[in-house]
Amino acid sequence: MQTSTRNELLLKRSLAAVWHPCTQMKQHEWLPLVPVARGAGCWLYDFDGRRYLDAISSWWVNLFGHCNPRIGAALADQLGQLEHVLLAGFSHEPVVAPSERLARATGGALGHCFYASDGASAVEIALKMSYHYWRNRGRPAKTRFVSLAGSYHGETLGALAVSDVRLFKDTYAPLVMASSQVASPDWRLAEKGESARDYAARCAAALEQHLQQHHAETAALIVEPLVQGASGMAMHDAEYLRRARAICNRYEVHFIADEIMTGFGRTGSFFAHQQAAITPDFLLLSKGITGGYLPLSVVMTRGAIYQAFYDDDVTRGFLHSHSYTGNTLACRAALATLDIFDGEQVIEANRARSARITTAAQAIARHPRVAHFRNTGMIWAFDVQTADPLFTRRFFAHALERELLLRPLGNTVYFMPPYVIGDDEIELLAGRTVELLDALPAD
């Protein structure tokens, strides 16, 4: 069969049989699906050999490239030993080893790992655990949660309840529990002349005001540390996290760090919250945890919280589970991912790589159509000034024509490349993005 026919056939069958995520399917009448036959490093290829630079790490999950030989070899080895076993009442080496290693990465502060299969489930678990902790400690009135304006914590009903992205949430409002939102420390919202740090302090004061009033019924604050991803890569000063941590302590409210996107070196440190030198009560990880290979998430917490569930009474225990909790293959991929971090000085190498990308992107930062060029670690974002209501989809389509996989969030274009992006690929990404900006129609 001719390869182009294989592409077309795949798309036709996909549109007939697969309901694609986060998509108004009717748009595929004019916006074609992208067929992917294989991947290697930062590149995705269709059946014709047409290629796309995966500048968004396939929805922020990929760390060390597609078809990474080390992760692949670990999985192949694991496939010959054990693919999966239930985790209730059973254990296996691939789940124990990453739990120990992740605990060590928190300096031993968060020594208990509870596993699930995706980010939203980790959020659900943290909310339930926080509430249940307070209940076990004789504070059953603590049933409410606080999050930041513009926060994103996933799409299941509990995760949606603490999210603040109207496009995803409004339709389901009658199904979703009430939660409170406080000001986001997103530095784009600072007053003229106000530093990101001063603005962060002002937002922390607003949080304190809220908790002063509502701490008695509030179980936890949930935050995406340093970068609020899905609502447009809003970045904030670590000062917010430092102050929010202290405020949560003062008012006996848990601090949940949703590092589902920011974890595993994405913001320049292994965990984003480490840049504020704080310890959260709950740390949520997913996305990069398996290097982008298999679905897995984990909720990490402190000994004191774990102890509040440890009892002769079954119902004081955390009776939550998913069928694939702690899946052996996914955990083995996580272990292989942690091995790469340990063996290859990834964080240090990324520091140099990040500087090279920022240098290569100077023409973007200075482009007349660009506002708020920003960078944290291995994330870059900028807002494109355009009146085109179809900008998001048009830019995506035009980027594909230039071999780039870029998927803007509204008018925000961002780069979140795998950590193996090379110098030639960096030049290509930056150069072609400038071409895309130059080609924008005048408003």
Ligand X SMILES: *Cc1c(COP(=O)(O)O)cnc(C)c1O
**Interface positions with ligand X (CB under 6 A):** 118-120, 123, 152-154, 224, 229-230, 258, 260-261, 286
The candidate with the shortest Cα–Cα distance to 413, out of 443, 432, 392, is 392
CA-based torsion, 174, 175, 178, 183: positive or negative:
negative
- Distance, CA of 183 to CA of 18 (rounded, Å): 39
Residue nearest to ligand X (CB): 119
CB closer to ligand X out of 7 and 286: 286
Q: Shortest approach of ligand X to residue 432 CB, angstroms?
A: 26
List phi, psi (to 5°) of 297.
-145, 160
3-state secondary structure of 3: helix
Tokens found for residue 120: 């939203």
Query: To the nearest whole angstrom, how small is the minimum distance from the Cβ of residue 315 to ligand X?
Result: 28
CB atoms within 10 A of CB 187: 21
Q: Provide the minimum distance between the beta carbon of 171 and ligand X in the complex, in angstroms, as a whole number.
A: 18
Residue 277 beta carbon to ligand X: minimum distance, rounded to whole angstroms: 21
Q: Which residue has the tokens 């740090």?
A: 197
**Tokens 């159509």, residue located:** 369
Residue placing its CB nearer to ligand X in the complex, 35 or 288: 288
The edge-to-edge listing of strands for the beta sheet with 370-376 is: 370-376, 379-384, 412-415
Q: Minimum distance from CB of 300 to ligand X (Å)? A: 15
Residue 121 or 375 having the CB closest to ligand X: 121
Min CB(234)–ligand X separation in Å: 12
154 or 291: CB nearest ligand X: 154
Nearer to ligand X, 172 or 310 (CB): 172
CA–CA dist 290, 110 (Å, integer): 20
Do the bridges between strand 112-116 and strand 43-45 make them parallel or antiparallel, or are there none, so unpaired? unpaired
What's the rounded Cα separation, in Å, for the pair 144 and 101? Answer: 32
284 or 360: CB nearest ligand X: 284
